Each structure stands twice: as C-alpha cells, then as structure tokens.
C-alpha cells in the first residue's frame, strides 16, 4: 500500500485533462530528444523569443509559442523546435505542448531551456498575475461603482483621510497553506470605498470593497480563489506589498495608507497541533496537512475535567495528559488512533508536565506538588515507558525540576530548575535552565546548568528547536526588589518574553525581538505574556530554490490580534517563523508573529503541542499516514515495530538514518540539521 502524499499546497496547477506538465514527456523526460542527437554543421541554438512577459488574470492562462532556431554556416537558421528537448526550470508555472507554452493561473518567473545537438539555449518567461476584483457588499447595501478602478487613480490626493493598516505586522512571514489571513485597517469617517492592493514584480491584484466593520475599523478577508493564486505566486520568492487606498462613493479623493510587506515560505507547515481551550475544557487539534485547518475537539473524550498539560509523542500516536493541575496532576496515557486510554486519572502516577523522546517509546515527567505518591522524589525527573507508564529511571537533579523537553537528537532533556520548593510545578520560582545527558549505557546523568538561577529573574519553559541545536525559553523579570510574585511565577506572566540560546549555553543569550514586539494596536505595550513556546516538527526551506532554512514556533500571548482583542485576560495562539542560522549566529532570527485564525477567539488557548502528523482513527485506511492507521496487531502496517506487526518501515516523524533509509514509500529521511534525521513526505 503506497501512502498518499500530503498536499504541498491547496492550489491546483491548472493542467487540463490529457496535458502533461513540463518534464513529463510521457516518460518522465523532457519533450523531444534533440539534446543527445548529433546534427552535422550545427553552430548555435537560440530560442525565439528569448524573453517574454505574459499576463494572466487568474481565470485564463497566458500562452506563448517559442521556436528553437538552429544556426548553420552562412547565417542560415532552421526551425527545429520539433527535434529539440524543452523543459522549464520551474514546472509549476506552466506546461508545454511542443513549442507552445501555457501558463498556470498565477504569476512567477521561470526559464525555458532548449537542448539540441549538444547545444543549449534559454529564454526567460515572466508571468504577471494582474486582476481588479470588485467585492460587492451583501444585497441591500449600496453597490460599488463599476468604474471605480478607472477613476480612483485620477482623484485628487487628500493624505489626511488615509486609512491605517494595523494587522498583520510589517514583514510577517507566513506559510503558503495558511488559508486565511485577515487584514485590519482603521479608516477616516468620510471613506466608504477602499482599494486593497497586493503588488510585487509578479503580481498586481486589487480588491475594491466597502468596510466590513470590526471594532473601531474594518477587516478584509481575501476571497479564497484569488488568495490561493497570490500565495502560490509568492511562495518562496520574496515579499508582497500591501496597501489601502481610500475614497468616498463619489470618488472625489484618494488617500493612501501605510504599506506593509508579507512573505510566504516555500514549504507548507506540516504536522498536527494540539492545544488547550479553556472555554471548552478540551484539548483541540488541528491538522496542518489538511486542505483547511479546522479545529476538532479531541480530549477528554466524554467531557469534563481540566487536562491542559499534555504532551504528544513525535509520531503522533500517543498522548500523555495531566488532570486538574496543581497538587493533582493524575496522569493518563492516550492511544490517539483508538481514542482509548491505557490508564486514566491515575493517582499513583502524578505528573504535571511531560515530554516524549524522539522514538516515541518513552517520556520524561515531573511532579513536585502535594499529594505525591509515597515513593516519589520531588527533585527527580522520571523516565517512563511509553506503553505502560512504568518508571524506567528516576534522575535526581537536586532542585525541583519542571517543564522538561526532550531533544530531537535524543541525547538530552532540558528542564527548568526551580529553587523555590514552596511553589508548585505549574508556578515555579527563581528558575534556571539545566539539562541531563544520556550516558553510554542509555541512562541519564547530570544535571548540567545552562543558566544559573538568579534573584529577580525566572527562566522557564525551555523547548529544543527541531534540529536540537538551540533552545527557546521564557524569561520573566520580577517586580523591583522581589524574588517571586504573581508577575514572575512562570504561569502566563504578562512580562514573559521569548529568548534563545545555544544548546550548550555558549555564546550570548538573545531575545527574539521581532517575535516579542507589539503590533500597532498594542499601543507600544511591551508586556504581552509571550509564553509556552513549542516548535512545529520539521525544518523547511525558506525560498523556492531550496536555499535558507525556516522553523515554525507557536506560543501564547495576550497581544492584540489587530482589531480583535483577546477576551478578558485570555491568551491566543500565535505562530512565528524563525531562521535557525541567524539564531545560531547570535542574531534575532525571528519574524513578526501572526495569530492562528482558526482558534476560538472568545476564550484562552494555550500550551500548543505538536506531533509530526494527526493519526487517523482506527479503520481509516485512506488517511495516507504511514504508521498511523491504527490497525490491529499483525495487520502488516507501517509502524517500525512495537505494535506487533512486523515493522516493515518507519512512519512519518520517526528518527531515521540516511545511510539506511527505512522510511516508508513516498517519504525521505530528511536532514533537519544538527545530525537529526526524521522521516517525512517527499515533496
């Protein structure tokens, strides 16, 4: 059984039935076979035209006929298009039928290459995505004048009536599979019509709309069809400039807003996100591999109880959850596919926070509160079996540990070291950051400090990057003269900021300045409760040509979601792109964050945890998830053993070796950096 591929993007390539994308040629090769044919007397090859700019409106493809001209002695040229091998440098941008190029329904830049008789020629193809779209309001409201696009540029300028774009932040970087990105702006009272433009060297798209009220301003949500084409046009190719031009119904003036730039990464974010929603008292989950990200209530299965502290195995098949928090924390072990528990609310197994190892076979856990079982050591990290929950090793670290996180390399567990034992694990005080290290026998020893505890500071909730080379963590500064109070208790502190450091603690510790920075609607407020950082599972290329690296981090924050304020003191989930090489070089590396649009905005959402994949339910054979079909033992499935099925190959998210790639069909053993390799789908 070959697993289905996960979608790179939700946008189709717009090839008609019977057509072949460039490079197919019926057998996987380029059109024609002239590259290897010897042609007597051939002196040169050129493409005519050698450079072309085409335009599509996103509805109708552009076409261009190219000729391959072969040069011979005496200046003679012969059209040998039918004998040449033709290919495109970026096959997503169109298709070929002989010398006829037909574009996709989005913009971009590609090169047409012709090979004939051992000689090579190229032509530059630039596709512009250009369109004006009138977005009329619901029936009963005034229609937008049909000629507004022709008139607005000629209207006199009145800068005092300019709109103000307040969300997203300038310079934001988003994944191309983020299907919904709102644009919020404030307007002058006289402005009733707006042109919202998206421009770059590859696009010039304008939407004409009225104000859709939101708070003290307006919100614009681009129509999905056009937004998908804009995403694909700019995927991994550079910034897109957004601006708002305002006018009235008479188009008697024009006034331009501030401009912002947004950028799309080359690769889609993949994986499953599990987070706690306080209003529903449930762990929600979202599949980033799906065409649309729609939250699903996952746990508790029958409702009731607080299970906010949870952890996922990297392969997504198991989850540990802690019930009722402080001084309770009865542990449950969940089989994700079967939606069953190996044990639930076990008072003899109390663990406040947990973290799974890369093989998804065991997890680290801590508990130092009241009501601990009699054999517990409050200052220990317990390593537990991932199937039974039994303690395999107890590592005494001297002070009370909290917030463990297991390195993707498997060799370390980093944790916050609380030096105020009268506090709880959920609200630890005067923490430093330390780790325990795996020894030659496979056990753990230590601890080794990375940041020593310090009066007036609390450093907590460390999280290894997906390549294991650096750590992000929270830092809270206590009120002046205080060592511990509600402002710095490590539990959604308003003053919490995101910091990063090398995994060995060498070099400077640095704040993630752009991730921490306020938006325009925060009015300069710097204390935004930027807490609970966690990483999406994979490292992806930044640009379309594969250069640069990006990681994605989620965190919770009380910052303003543009004109949408969090409810009360609630926190919303935010995502931010991070350049790992910049961080390791001692630079910020973060981009401005964006709110995850699918979450319930009326409540608090936090403690977002990631798995490599959302495992489908038992019996779902079409989920396309190797190692995650939840089938019964002996079914010959895809997991690497441990479920009694023979272990045919490694599933998505499993550690792998490039020297002996045992990943399932359709996947590669992907280099995450730092010596970390994980199975993932081959795009």
Contact assessment for residue 71 and residue 43, using Cβ atoms and an 8 Å cutoff: yes
What six digits make up the tokens of 107? Answer: 């913009």
Give the DSSP letter string of 438-503: E-TTS-EEEEEEEE---TTEEEEEEEE-TTSSEEEEEEEEPSTT-SSSGGGSSSS-TT-EEEEEET
Q: Copy the structure tokens of residue 196.
A: 């919202």
**Which residue is associated with the tokens 């990063």?**
500
Residue in the block written with tokens 């609607």: 521
Tokens 């941008």 -> residue? 93
Residue pair 176/540 in contact by the 8 Å Cβ criterion: no
- The pLDDT of residue 33: 62
For residue 27, the model assigns a pLDDT of: 34
pTM of structure: 0.91
Three-class secondary structure assignment of 341-374: EEEEEEEEEECCEEEECCCCCEEEEECCCCCCCC
Report d(CA 450, CA 432) in Å as an integer.
8
Instruction: Name 184's Cβ contacts closer than 8 Å, sequence gap at least 6.
Output: 165, 166, 167, 214, 217, 218, 219, 220, 521, 562, 563, 564
- In the chain, which residues have pLDDT < 70? 1-36, 619-647, 683
* Closest alpha carbon to 500 in 469, 479, 528: 469
Q: Which has the closest alpha carbon to 180: 606, 594, 600? A: 594
In angstroms, rounded to a whole number, what is the distance separating the alpha carbons of residues 51 and 621? 49
Query: Distance between CA 544 and CA 672 in Å, rounded?
Result: 18
Task: Give residue-wise pLDDT tens across range 443-492.
Answer: 999 999 999 999 999 999 999 999 999 999 999 999 998 999 999 999 99
Domains and CATH numbers, the chain: 1-127 (2.60.40.1080), 136-264 (2.60.40.10), 272-611 (2.120.10.30), 624-683 (no CATH)
* Strand runs labelled E in 27-97: 44-48, 51-56, 63-65, 67-71, 77-79, 85-88, 94-97
Quickly list DSSP for 644-662. SS---SBPTT-B--GGG--
Digit-coded pLDDT (tens) for 199-250: 999 999 999 999 999 999 999 999 999 999 999 999 999 999 999 999 999 9
pLDDT for res 623: 47
For the chain, the maximum distance between any two Cα atoms, rounded to a whole number of angstroms, is: 98
- Read off the tokens for 453: 């505890």
- CA–CA separation, 668 vs 662, rounded Å? 9
Q: What does residue 81 show for φ and ψ, rounded to 5 degrees?
A: -55, -40
Going by the DSSP 8-state scheme, the letter that residue 20 receives in this structure is -
- Label residues 193-203 b or e (16+ Cβ within 10 Å = b): bbbbbbebebb
Rounded CA gap, 322 and 307, in Å?
5
> Alpha-carbon Rg of the chain, whole angstroms?
28
Contact 123, 50 (CB under 8 A): yes
CB 73 within 8 A of CB 39: no
């Amino acid at each position: 059984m070959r697993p289905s591929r996960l979608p790179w993007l939700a946008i189709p390539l717009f090839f008609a039935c019977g057509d072949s994308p460039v490079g197919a040629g019926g057998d996987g090769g380029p059109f024609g076979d002239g590259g290897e044919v010897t042609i007597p007397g051939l002196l040169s090859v050129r493409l005519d035209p050698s450079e072309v700019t085409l335009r599509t409106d996103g509805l109708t493809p552009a076409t261009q006929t190219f000729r391959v001209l072969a040069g011979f002695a005496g200046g003679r040229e012969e059209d040998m298009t039918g004998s040449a091998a033709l290919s495109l440098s970026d096959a997503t941008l169109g298709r070929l039928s002989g010398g006829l190029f037909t574009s996709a329904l989005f913009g971009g830049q590609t090169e047409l290459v012709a090979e004939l008789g051992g000689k090579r020629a190229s032509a530059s193809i630039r596709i512009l995505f250009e369109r004006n779209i009138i977005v009329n309001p619901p029936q009963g409201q005034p229609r937008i004048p049909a000629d507004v696009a022709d008139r607005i540029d000629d209207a006199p300028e009145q800068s005092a009536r300019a709109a103000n774009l307040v969300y997203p932040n300038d310079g934001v970087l988003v994944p191309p599979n983020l299907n919904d990105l709102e644009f919020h702006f404030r307007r002058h009272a006289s402005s009733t019509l707006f042109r919202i433009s998206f421009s770059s060297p590859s696009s010039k798209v304008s939407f004409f709309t009225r104000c859709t009220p939101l708070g003290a301003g307006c919100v614009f949500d681009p129509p999905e069809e056009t937004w998908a084409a804009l995403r694909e046009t700019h995927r991994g190719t550079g910034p897109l400039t957004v601006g708002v031009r305002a006018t009235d119904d008479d188009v008697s003036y024009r006034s331009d807003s501030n401009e912002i730039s947004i950028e799309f990464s080359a690769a889609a974010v993949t994986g499953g996100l599990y987070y706690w929603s306080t209003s529903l008292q449930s762990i929600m989950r979202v599949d980033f591999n799906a065409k649309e990200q729609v939250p699903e209530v996952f746990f508790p299965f029958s409702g009731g109880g607080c299970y906010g502290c949870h952890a996922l195995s990297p392969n997504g098949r198991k989850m540990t959850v802690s019930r009722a928090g402080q001084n309770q924390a009865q542990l449950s072990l969940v089989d994700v596919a079967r939606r069953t528990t190996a044990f639930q609310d076990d008072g003899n197994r109390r663990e406040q926070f947990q973290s799974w190892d890369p093989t998804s076979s065991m997890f680290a856990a801590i508990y130092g509160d009241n009501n601990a079982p009699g054999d517990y050591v409050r200052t220990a990290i317990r390593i537990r079996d991932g199937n039974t929950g039994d303690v395999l090793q107890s590592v005494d670290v001297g002070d009370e540990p909290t917030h463990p996180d297991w390195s993707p390399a498997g060799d370390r567990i980093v944790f916050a070291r609380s030096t105020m034992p009268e506090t709880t694990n959920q609200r630890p005080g005067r923490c430093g950051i330390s780790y325990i290290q795996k020894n030659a026998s496979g056990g753990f020893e230590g601890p080794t400090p990375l940041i020593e505890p310090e009066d007036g500071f609390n450093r907590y909730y460390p999280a290894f990057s997906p390549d294991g080379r650096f750590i992000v963590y929270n830092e809270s500064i206590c009120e002046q003269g205080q060592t511990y109070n509600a402002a710095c208790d490590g539990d959604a502190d308003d003053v919490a900021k995101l910091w990063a450091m090398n995994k060995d603690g060498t070099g400077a510790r640095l704040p993630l300045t752009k991730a921490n920075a306020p938006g325009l609607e925060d009015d300069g407020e710097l204390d935004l409760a930027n807490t609970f950082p966690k990483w999406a599972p994979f490292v992806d290329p930044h640009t379309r040509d594969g250069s640069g690296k990006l990681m994605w981090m989620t965190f919770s924050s009380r910052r303003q979601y543009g004109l949408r304020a969090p409810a009360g003191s609630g926190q919303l989930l935010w995502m931010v792109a991070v350049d790992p090489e910049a961080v390791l070089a001692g630079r910020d590396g973060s981009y401005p964050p964006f709110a995850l649009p699918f979450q319930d905005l009326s409540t608090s959402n936090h403690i977002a945890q990631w798995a490599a994949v959302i495992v489908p339910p038992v019996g779902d054979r079409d989920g396309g998830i190797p190692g995650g079909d939840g089938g019964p033992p002996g079914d010959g499935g895809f997991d690497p053993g441990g479920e009694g099925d023979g272990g045919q190959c490694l599933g998505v998210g499993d550690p792998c070796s490039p020297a002996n790639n045992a990943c399932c069909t359709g996947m590669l053993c992907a280099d995450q950096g730092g010596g970390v390799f994980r199975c993932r789908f081959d795009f």
